[in-house]
Amino acid sequence: MAKRVKLLDVAKAAGVSQGTASNAFGKPDLVRPEVRERIFAAARELGYRGPHVMARMLRTGKAGALGVVFPDNLEYAFSDPAAIELLRGIGRECAQHGVNVMIISAQNQQQAIEAVNNAAVDAFLVHCYSDNNDIIAAIQRRNQPLISIDTDITGAAGSVVLDDFGAARNAARHLLDCGAKRFGILSLQATEHDHFGPMNANRIGAASHRVVRERLAGYHDALQAAGISASDIIHVECDNQSGHSAKMTTELLAQHPEIDGILGMSDVIAIGAIDAARTSGRKVPDDLKVIGIDGIAAGERTDPPLTTMYQDSVEKGRLAAEMALSDGGGKIITLETTLLLRGSSKPA
């Protein structure tokens, strides 16, 4: 087996100190261009593969990277519009600090724990994941900053959350103001265990995800104030995909044709509801009023365009990364939403 080439070997071949060679790779602005080129030429000739990450961590105490944990698979992180916006914000702040990003999927728990244990990162951002699980425990054993995003994690160094209760309450109030009287709620997945379809009271009460708990409470608060009890609302749990929510909405409208207001817990879900209304012969907003939460660009292109409670997901990600990269943890930042009034909810 060939001997691993070390930085000291490169330094000797280039005729410089090991510190200068190290700076050429880690802090190139501290090394004269001609010296840098001599060091890089020696590295190429010797087949040096670059500084070892763990060795750099031992030397500097920093890995120069953040770990981002998503509850879903990696495809979701790169395809869901709100997740993409969140990652944009994280990436924007990391770029300002010259820091990289490592994305970890929590879909396979054992693989995620191994990734957490081996990750060369300085802090973790955990998005929409429940507190009570082994992945969070593995992160906390590392004694590094943990910033929670849209979730509550005991012992987190800080958190960035949306005012989900207020967003949902205002969404329901808006449809009430538009004249809706019989409501269906299309919910995001309530727990880590797959369950799609009608939600009974036990399932609603078992919701473990903060976003779902808060948004359900906000919807119920506004509707109860209008004399509509939770038992009079039809709740349906959906996968966060428009095709799936369209299927769920088609079944919902067939079984409950009296429904004239759809509260989509995300824009992706609400877009599916608009699609289902069209194929079911229901006119939006005349027969059915629809509102979402997020403010993704795709909502502008639906027919009619989707009314939604807009949140700045880019800023949410940026603030979370900023908190992880600073020494001022312990804060809870709550972001507000604003109503984007479009055609899916205007009064008939």
Closest residue by Cα to residue 87 from 313, 297, 265: 313
Identify whether residues 151 and 173 lie together within a single domain. no
- Look at residue 326 and tell me if it is in a domain: no
Name the phi and psi angles at 221, rounded to 5: -60, -45
Among residues 143, 162, 181, the one where a domain terminates is: 162
Q: Is residue 273 located within the same domain as residue 139?
A: no
- Same-domain pairing of 71 and 82: yes
Q: Confirm whether 332 is domain-assigned.
A: no
**H-type alpha helices, the chain:** 7-14, 18-26, 33-46, 53-60, 74-77, 81-97, 109-118, 134-141, 164-177, 201-205, 210-225, 242-255, 267-279, 313-325
How many residues appear in the chain? Answer: 348
Instruction: Check whether residue 144 and residue 242 sit in a common domain.
Output: no
Q: Are 174 and 292 part of one and the same domain?
A: yes
Determine if the pTM surpasses 0.85: no
Is 334 domain-assigned?
A: no
Contact call for residues 278 and 225 (beta carbons, < 8 A): no
pLDDT digits (tens, 9 = 90+) for 81-134: 999 999 999 999 999 999 999 999 988 888 998 999 888 899 999 998 765 578
Q: Give 163-186 pLDDT, tens digit per residue.
A: 999 999 999 999 999 999 999 999
Cβ neighbours, 10 Å, residue 333: 17
Q: Are residues 193 and 294 in the same domain?
A: yes
CATH number for the domain that contains residue 88: 3.40.50.2300
In a domain, 168, yes or no: yes
Domain ends where: 108, 131, 162? 162
Please tell me the distance from the alpha carbon of residue 138 to that of residue 69, in angstroms, as a whole number: 12
Asked if residue 24 belongs to a domain, the reply is: yes
- What six digits make up the tokens of 104? 């970890």
The answer to whether position 342 is within a domain reads: no
Do both 23 and 124 map to the same domain?
Answer: no
**Count of the separate structural domains present in the chain:** 3
Residues in CB range of 29: below 8 A, 6 or more apart: none
Residues 96 and 155 in one domain: yes
Other residues' Cβ atoms within 10 Å of the Cβ of residue 286? 11
Residues 79 and 171 in one domain: no
- Domain-embedded: residue 36: yes
Same domain assignment for residues 153 and 234: no
Quote the distance between the C-alpha of residue 32 and its chain's center. Answer: 42
Among residues 162, 183, 214, the one where a domain terminates is 162
Alpha helix stretches (DSSP H) within 47-200: 53-60, 74-77, 81-97, 109-118, 134-141, 164-177
User: Do 46 and 77 sit in the same domain of this protein?
Assistant: no
Which residues, given as ranges, of the chain have pLDDT below 70?
Answer: 1-3, 50-61, 130-132, 328-330, 347-348
| 339 token code pair | 């109503």
* Residues whose CB is less than 8 angstroms from the CB of residue 57 and which lie 6 or more positions away in sequence, other chains included: 63, 120
Contact between residue 71 and residue 107 where contact means Cβ atoms under 8 Å apart: yes
* DSSP code, position 344: T
261 and 169 part of one domain: yes
In a domain, 106, yes or no: yes
Identify the CATH number of the domain in which residue 25 sits: 1.10.260.40
Can you give the residue range of the structural domain that contains 29? 7-51
CA atoms of 344 and 89, how far apart (whole Å) = 29
Residue 155 exposed, middle or buried by CB count within 10 Å (0-12, 13-18, 19+): exposed
For residue 1, the model assigns a pLDDT of 45
Strands 307-310 and 338-340: antiparallel
